[in-house]
């Protein structure tokens, strides 16, 4: 009987460990290999200044996850990255009263067998009675994207959310 209980608890503990790992991995952004089809978005806001940072598996954006190996891959890489760069302001929309301080930056982060596109932008919000909302249109754009894990950090709270559809969120 005791053995049965021990087994049961071990199983529960094991499931919890998996759950905790699933919950914390995205927070360690970049330390772990990503899951294909998943994106990570981190938004920090301390009035009036904010920053969002988006990580996407490179295969979503450019079609593969290594540096280009031949001329046609190089062409595809350049074209897709340029298109992504130009589309970006339609993919993530911050409120009109939150002006971007600079153009977003795009960098490529490679780990052993993966590559990620990381986009970051700082912004500055004027006082307004309108909702401070960030709108995402990733899912209609990237057909292979299943989920975006979102972390929103303000001086008062840290919120974690998951998006599976084009969504908007207050910050």
- Interacting span for Zn ion (CB under 5 A) from 13-21, 90-98, 112-120, 153-161: 112-120
Residue 116 makes contact with Zn ion by CB under 5 A: no
Q: Which two tokens stand for residue 6?
A: 């021990």
Site pattern 6..45 for Zn ion (x: CB under 5 A): ----------------------------------------
How wide is the angle at C-alpha 53 spanned by C-alphas 158 and 148, nearest 5°? 70
CB of 114 to Zn ion, least distance (A): 3
Q: For residues 33 and 31, what is the distance between their CA atoms, to the nearest angstrom?
A: 7
Nearer to Zn ion, 41 or 65 (CB): 65
Residue 114 makes contact with Zn ion by CB under 5 A: yes
Q: For residues 154 and 43, what is the distance between their CA atoms, to the nearest angstrom?
A: 9
Residue 65 makes contact with Zn ion by CB under 5 A: yes
The residue with its CB nearest to Zn ion is: 114
Nearer to Zn ion, 98 or 145 (CB): 145
Sequence-distant (≥ 6) Cβ neighbours of residue 122 within 8 angstroms: 49, 50, 51, 100, 101, 102
CB of 58 to Zn ion, least distance (A): 7
CB of 159 to Zn ion, least distance (A): 26
Nearer to Zn ion, 131 or 144 (CB): 144
Sites of contact with Zn ion (CB under 5 A): 57, 65, 114
């Amino acid at each position: 009987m005791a053995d049965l209980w021990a087994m049961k608890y071990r199983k529960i503990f094991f499931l919890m460990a998996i759950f905790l790992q699933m919950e914390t991995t995205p927070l360690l952004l970049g330390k772990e290999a990503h899951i294909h089809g998943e994106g990570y978005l981190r938004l920090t806001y301390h009035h009036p200044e904010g920053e969002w940072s988006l990580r996407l598996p490179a295969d979503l954006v450019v079609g593969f996850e290594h540096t280009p190996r031949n001329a046609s891959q190089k062409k595809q890489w350049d074209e897709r990255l340029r298109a992504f760069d130009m589309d970006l302001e339609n993919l993530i929309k911050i409120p009109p009263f939150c002006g971007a301080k600079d153009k977003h930056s795009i960098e490529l982060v490679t780990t052993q067998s993966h590559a990620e596109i990381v986009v970051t932008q700082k912004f500055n919000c004027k006082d307004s009675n309108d909702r401070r909302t960030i709108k995402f249109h990733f899912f209609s754009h990237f057909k292979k994207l299943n989920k975006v894990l979102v972390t929103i950090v303000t001086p008062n709270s840290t919120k974690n959310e998951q998006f599976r559809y084009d969504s908007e969120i207050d910050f």
